[in-house]
Chain A
Amino acid sequence: MSGNGLIDIKELRKEFNLSTSGAASIKTALLWWKRRNMVHLQVLKGISFQVHPGECVAVIGKNGAGKSTLLSLLARVYKPTSGKIDIKGRIAPLLELGAGFHPDLTGIENIYFNGVILGLTREEMKARTDKIVEFSEIGDHINAPTRTYSSGMLARLGFSVAVHVDADILLVDEVLAVGDYDFERKCYAKIDEFRANGGTILFVSHQMDAVRRVADRCIWLKDGEIHRVGPPDQVIGEYEGRDLAPESG
């Protein structure tokens, strides 16, 4: 993290074809007329913005506005329908509740596995394991299978791995409330440290306090388009006041 994480998004569009008929099977494919149940969904309708090195940008908006889709596109989970995403630097998505953990492996083994997925070599991971274990505060439990972990422990472990892989860009989807009060404070301290070292953050949150606390800039997504961009206080003020105006959402 040396201040070189950069995100450049141009005219980004994402469409989904959703089937209302539920689980996929050959039967539904053979009964071709079922295709009529396909719903064409435009989630992002051509958005463009930049996140500069060392900047922390928050994305806010209602459920279904396209926030998580945006993060998934940045994490390269989806392919854009059209438009361009340029990313410089290593990106680390913060996985919710240890999505990358296998329940039958121990905490240590999962740390190792998660780190390698995020693009580190096994050597690099070996050097970091102790630091990650210490930060997660899981203690001796680290040698037990993660299926025995509580959800708080999983979240703590996931957060610890993500912030220790030396990413340039951190993608955070509503997971800052990961543990008790003490651990949450520790997370914020770590994020401040990450930023002080020039790390770039893009995060999605419904907690306006968190947005005010860490964001430099705030993007309000509304129905797949950028509605407002600006300083957090100003955008949040408008966002929270939206209920008063009849037409906003």
Chain B
Amino acid sequence: MLAELKELWRYRELLLVMVQRDLKIRYKNSALGFLWSFLNPLLTVGVMTFVYSNFIFQKQPNMAAYIMAAYLPFMFFQMCLLDSAQSIIVALPLIKKIYFPREILPLAAVLSNFVNFLFALAIFFAYLLINYALHPGSFPIQPTVVILPLLILISFCLSLGASFIVSALNTFYEDIKYIVGVVLYLLFFLSPVVYFDETVANSHLNQNSGWLAYKIYNLNPIAQLCTAYKKAVLAPYDPRVMAPAGASPDEIVRVGAIPLSWKYLAITGVTSFLVLYLGYTLFNRLKWRFVERP
């Protein structure tokens, strides 16, 4: 693996140009240009906020921020997988003619999405600050925001590792990309994007199973990352706000706000690095067969 990394470093210029090219192509043929990359999440978050703040979490202030905090990293993971799945097949005419480290293709797809992700995060923070300026209250950004770089690193490793696996396998079995689409769709519901991990903790399923459901739920690295982004940046969500007027909150709600769990975050971190390591190993084993695929 060390030799492969060295070779990759030798081709860093190509990687850079490839990322530039990706970003350029994506926005070149559209009048609104770079805006498109944010219009989609903006609309999605807008609709989700409308539905969930009006129909479900009616008493939770600033629901949009909670949704965004989890949806942006989720979207980053999703886009990485969908883009990189096709990255090698699309470049097949090129890699049949010329040598360069094949891992540059999924890596460039992940990196250009990473640039988008960072922009999206910047917009997210701008939104928080503007919202604070318009409706002054308690400051929305928590001090735990300092661990954000760590969360971003974990997200990046997980996305890259999964992208290596998906791009390598999709080259041989083109049904992989459909499977990935379905899995991502299901993963969205299994991750606390439009709800909270406290919601899971308070569920009958969890209470009756002696917290087993919550434990299993948090082993999913995507779910744990969504939770961690929310808890690191924003004020804790307290399920007690959901109690109906007149009722004593403690009768309805068994578990209050759950702080960021270092244990689950550590598990997620280790899982992500493992996915990256295994993904890259798998990719390196298969990469010479891309051009010879049946």
Asked if B172 is at the interface (CB within 8 A of a chain A CB), the reply is yes
Contact B96 A72 (CB under 8 A): yes
- Shortest A234–chain B CB gap in Å is 32
Asked if A10 is at the interface (CB within 8 A of a chain B CB), the reply is no
Contact B14 A100 (CB under 8 A): no
Contact B173 A29 (CB under 8 A): yes
Decide yes or no: A104 and B29 within 8 Å by CB, A16-B292, A24-B173, A78-B288 being known contacts: yes
B78-115 residues with Cβ-Cβ distance < 8 A to A are 93-100
Kindly state the interface size class of chain B when it binds its partner.
20 to 34
> What residues of chain A lie closer than 8 Å to B96, measured between beta carbons?
72, 77, 99
Asked if A121 is at the interface (CB within 8 A of a chain B CB), the reply is yes
> What residues of chain B lie closer than 8 Å to A19, measured between beta carbons?
294
- Shortest B266–chain A CB gap in Å is 35
Interface centre among B14, B93, B288, B293 (most CB of A within 10 A): B14
* A94 to B193 CA separation, bound complex (whole angstroms): 50
- Shortest B90–chain A CB gap in Å is 10
Contact A24 B14 (CB under 8 A): no
- Shortest B270–chain A CB gap in Å is 30
Asked if B21 is at the interface (CB within 8 A of a chain A CB), the reply is yes
Q: Which residue of A lies closest to B95 (CB)?
A: A77
> What residues of chain B lie closer than 8 Å to A29, measured between beta carbons?
173
Residue from B17, B174, B293 in contact with A122 in the complex, judged by beta carbons closer than 8 Å? B17
> What residues of chain B lie closer than 8 Å to A95, measured between beta carbons?
97-98
Q: Which residue of B lies closest to A114 (CB)?
A: B98
* A113 to B95 CA separation, bound complex (whole angstroms): 14
Asked if B51 is at the interface (CB within 8 A of a chain A CB), the reply is no
Mark interface residues in B264-294 (1 if CB within 8 Å of A CB, else 0): 0000000000000000000000001001111
> What residues of chain B lie closer than 8 Å to A79, measured between beta carbons?
288
Mark interface residues in B166-207 (1 if CB within 8 Å of A CB, else 0): 000000111110000000000000000000000000000000
Contact A100 B98 (CB under 8 A): yes
Q: How many A-B residue pairs have CB under 8 A?
A: 77
Contact A117 B14 (CB under 8 A): yes
Contact A99 B93 (CB under 8 A): yes
Contact B98 A93 (CB under 8 A): yes
> What residues of chain A lie closer than 8 Å to B93, measured between beta carbons?
99
Asked if B250 is at the interface (CB within 8 A of a chain A CB), the reply is no
Decide yes or no: A23 and B174 within 8 Å by CB, A109-B24, A116-B17 being known contacts: yes
> What residues of chain A lie closer than 8 Å to B172, measured between beta carbons?
24
Mark interface residues in A114-128 (1 if CB within 8 Å of B CB, else 0): 001110011000000
Q: Which residue of B lies closest to A22 (CB)?
A: B294
Asked if B251 is at the interface (CB within 8 A of a chain A CB), the reply is no
Decide yes or no: A117 and B25 within 8 Å by CB, A17-B294, A77-B291, A112-B17 being known contacts: no
Asked if A75 is at the interface (CB within 8 A of a chain B CB), the reply is yes
Contact A24 B98 (CB under 8 A): no
> What residues of chain B lie closer than 8 Å to A18, measured between beta carbons?
294
Asked if B254 is at the interface (CB within 8 A of a chain A CB), the reply is no
B125-174 residues with Cβ-Cβ distance < 8 A to A are 172-174
- Shortest B176–chain A CB gap in Å is 8
Contact B14 A116 (CB under 8 A): yes
Contact A77 B24 (CB under 8 A): no
Asked if A26 is at the interface (CB within 8 A of a chain B CB), the reply is yes
> What residues of chain B lie closer than 8 Å to A93, measured between beta carbons?
97-98
* A78 to B2 CA separation, bound complex (whole angstroms): 21
- Shortest A144–chain B CB gap in Å is 13
B1-52 residues with Cβ-Cβ distance < 8 A to A are 13-14, 16-18, 21, 24-25, 28-29
Contact B175 A75 (CB under 8 A): no
**Contacts A17-B292, A24-B294 known; 6 new A-B pairs at CB < 8 A:** A17-B294, A24-B172, A77-B96, A102-B21, A105-B25, A116-B17
28 contacts between A and B (CB under 8 A): A18-B294, A24-B172, A25-B175, A27-B175, A38-B294, A72-B97, A75-B97, A75-B99, A77-B97, A93-B97, A93-B98, A95-B98, A96-B97, A99-B93, A99-B94, A99-B97, A100-B94, A100-B97, A100-B98, A104-B25, A104-B28, A104-B29, A105-B24, A109-B21, A116-B14, A116-B17, A117-B14, A117-B98
Kindly list the 8 A-B residue pairs having the minimum CB-CB distance in the complex, ordered from nearest.
A19-B294, A76-B99, A79-B288, A99-B97, A116-B17, A26-B173, A116-B14, A95-B97
